[in-house]
Structure 1
Amino acid sequence: MASAKSPLSIKILLFFHLLCIFCFLQTHSISGSYASIFSFGNSLADTGNFLLTGAVRFPFIGRLPYGETYFHYPTGRCSDGRLIVDFIADAYGLPKLLPYLSPHADFRQGVNFAVAGATALDPIFFQERNLTSAMWTNISLSIQLGWFDHLKPSLCYSTEDCTDYFGKSLFLMGEIGGNDYNYALLQGTSIEEVQTFVPKVVEAIESATSRLIEQGAVDLVVPGNLPIGCSTIYLTFFLSPNKADYDQYGCIKTLNRFSEYHNTLLQHSLEKLRQKYPRTKIIYADYYGAAMRFFRFPLQFGFSSGALSACCGGGGPYNFNNSAPCGSAGSSVCSDPSTYVNWDGIHLTDAAYRAIATGLVYGPYSTPPMASPHLS
């Protein structure tokens, strides 16, 4: 017959059990209260960095109607109002993130390194392939990580201090990678060739995420690509008389399959990181699934003006004209952006970004789920 455990052995087992729970709580943000948010990426997340660089390639974001819905003035956001990162900050009770290039700013509660037009891969990749003519900026993900390294000493002062500070922060890795494909596809590179870029782009995102974890990040959100086959600019550039090229919602099937391929590879990459860093929470943000709801059932989300045409543009089948982009002479803006998904043919409206962010924070478009902002 097995002997009963002694009171001492029970106490030892209980001690180690409590110790394991304590370690888990220290390395996982189970409350919804983050100390700060650090954001990287492109125009889907940029709160003003591109505008502060001069916005030479796309100056229109520095004038109305950009920003008209929420801020009532242009902020450098590529939308009529807020972005996903703004809604996430609001959900967790944090201020909207200032762009890193803001002069004399206090970044203790977070900072935005994202830049409109930024790529996951460095500019040399595109220079070698003669794909630079459409690039908005030379600022890539590696530059943004360099900015983070430069700012870090002003945020925490020792390894222990940084571990504690970043362990209570939320890191948003993108969306990034979409422009790596945009610059090539919109300059006529075949989708088959651009598909060879995907493993390199995913590797760059994985490497950047790993680098942040090594510096103390514990909770990280890594978004996938949007369904580009439903994007106004792609629908315009790849307009086809062949109905078989489109799905039942009017989106281009081959382009959406491309987005799904990127997202599949990215999710495999994130699973590898979870195995390598088991004490972190690496969240895949399903931008594709969250956005496809609008294109399938726009009326259910209040998008009575449809999902595929731009609110602000210069005409054409989808109200996108590259010769008269939103904010330029020859363009016009709709009376109610909240009834549109697409804002300027490239980016989405405040209303669409709100719906995506809600799907991420409250589910079910985050895997694993994001921390509930209702807990304290």
Structure 2
Amino acid sequence: MGNSCINQLRFLIFLIASLAGAYQSYGFHHLSPKPRVPLFVFGDSLYDPGNNNYINTTPDFLANFLPYGETFFEFATGRFSDGRLIPDFIAKYAKLPLIPPYFQSSYRQFVYGVNFASGGGGALVETHEGKAIDLKTQLRYFKNVEKQLRRELGKEGTDQLLANAVYMFSIGGNDLLAPNPIFSSFSTEEYVGIIVGNFTEVLKEVYKAGGRKFGFLSLLPLGCLPYVRAHNAEGNGETCVKDLTDLAKSYNAALAQKFKQLRKQLKGFIYSNFDFFNAVTQRLSNPSKFQGSEEWMLW
């Protein structure tokens, strides 16, 4: 992993860990001996800890069977991984408990954060509609949590909690991999703009609720995903699909520009945009360099 990637990841961890224990003055000490700054997670299968287990979906959008989960949990939790996910490692480094799925959360856990991510979810409602939880629905769930916190903690306590929290996002890949036919009349630039626009609307709503510290994950090279390569007839499963990878680059560039604009427009907006594209590209080019290292686990 390059120094830029490492520094961005460390910055995100710092956002969470630097305020650890700050709740003692907010009256939350009765919930835990060492309360921590919460982590709210939104996104797709890269972040989904098992939310899809609780919705009416198809087997393709579920990870509740082995070998998922076998190397850490020793059973399938619903994570689309054989072990932990990025938010799990972030929580560990910030000395937080594992952030539970929204559908598995209780009020007592809300002060540590909630994970709303859904495998197959997109920034657009139309992406895998009816099979995954789109970003705007995840926002609605977040607002439900906000309302419950305000009932339990009051306005001041909730305002402080949400302002100190870190909000992580991984979204957009499914919108590009499985575009809805209704968008076929748009150019690539227009379509990317629609996705970024929907994402931005959600970010502004989280900001309006009090969110100030954000962590983003750029798209990886989509054309190099194993199942994309497997269906690439021209490359016999060995070659990345350049058009999809270029599409991911376009999305990443548009989103990076949008984040810069938001930083100017929204007072106190702090963010870390992790270069996942470069991190994955390096590993594909030289996997032995990262095998077994802690940096390998962190991405």
Smaller-chain TM-score bracket: 0.7 to 0.9
Contact 2:124 2:198 in 1 (8 A): yes
How big is the shift at 1:108?
Answer: 1.7
Distance (whole Å) between structure 2 residues aligned to residue 233 and residue 63 of structure 1: 19
Number of paired residues? 266
Contact 1:57 1:136 in 2 (8 A): no
Task: List per-residue Cα deviations over 1:259-278 (Å, max 9, x = no partner).
Answer: 11000000010011000123
How big is the shift at 1:154?
Answer: 2.3
How big is the shift at 1:107?
Answer: 2.0
Distance (whole Å) between structure 2 residues aligned to residue 216 and residue 103 of structure 1: 21
Contact 1:120 1:204 in 2 (8 A): yes
Q: What is the Cα-based RMSD across aligned positions, in Å? A: 3.0
Stretch moving more, 222-231 or 58-67 = 58-67
Tell me the residue number matched to 2:101.
99
Counterparts of 1:204-243 in structure 2 under 5 Å?
Answer: 204-241=198-235
- Residue number among 179, 183, 202 corresponding to 2:178 in the alignment: 183
Letter in 2 for 1:221: G
Counterparts of 1:69-148 in structure 2 under 5 Å?
Answer: 69-102=71-104, 104=106, 106-123=109-126, 137-148=131-142
- Structure 2 unaligned spans of 5+: 1-14, 21-35
Distance (whole Å) between structure 1 residues aligned to residue 50 and residue 243 of structure 2: 33
Distance (whole Å) between structure 1 residues aligned to residue 132 and residue 282 of structure 2: 33
Counterparts of 1:1-376 in structure 2 under 5 Å?
Answer: 31=18, 33=20, 35-58=37-60, 61-102=63-104, 104=106, 106-123=109-126, 137-156=131-150, 157-173=153-169, 175-184=170-179, 196-241=190-235, 250-302=239-291, 354-356=297-299
Contact 1:181 1:194 in 2 (8 A): no
Distance (whole Å) between structure 2 residues aligned to residue 300 and residue 142 of structure 1: 39
Distance (whole Å) between structure 2 residues aligned to residue 217 and residue 240 of structure 1: 46
TM-score, normalised via structure 2 length? 0.79
- The 1:59/1:42 distance shift into structure 2, 3 A limit, reads closer
Stretch moving more, 87-96 or 156-165 = 156-165
Distance (whole Å) between structure 1 residues aligned to residue 140 and residue 259 of structure 2: 22
Stretch moving more, 80-89 or 161-170 = 161-170
- The 1:254/1:29 distance shift into structure 2, 3 A limit, reads same
TM-score, normalised via structure 1 length? 0.64
Rg larger in structure: 1
**Percent of paired sites with the same residue:** 28
Distance (whole Å) between structure 2 residues aligned to residue 111 and residue 147 of structure 1: 10
Contact 1:37 1:172 in 2 (8 A): yes
Q: Matched residue of 2:103: which SS? A: coil
- The 1:301/1:121 distance shift into structure 2, 3 A limit, reads same
Task: List per-residue Cα deviations over 1:52-84 (Å, max 9, x = no partner).
Answer: 224434265111111000000000000101111
Which aligned runs of 4 or more in structure 1 are off by greater than 4 angstroms?
192-195
Q: Matched residue of 1:202: which SS? A: helix
Contact 1:32 1:92 in 2 (8 A): no
Letter in 2 for 1:48: G
- The 1:60/1:141 distance shift into structure 2, 3 A limit, reads closer
Distance (whole Å) between structure 2 residues aligned to residue 353 and residue 179 of structure 1: 24
Distance (whole Å) between structure 2 residues aligned to residue 161 and residue 290 of structure 1: 38
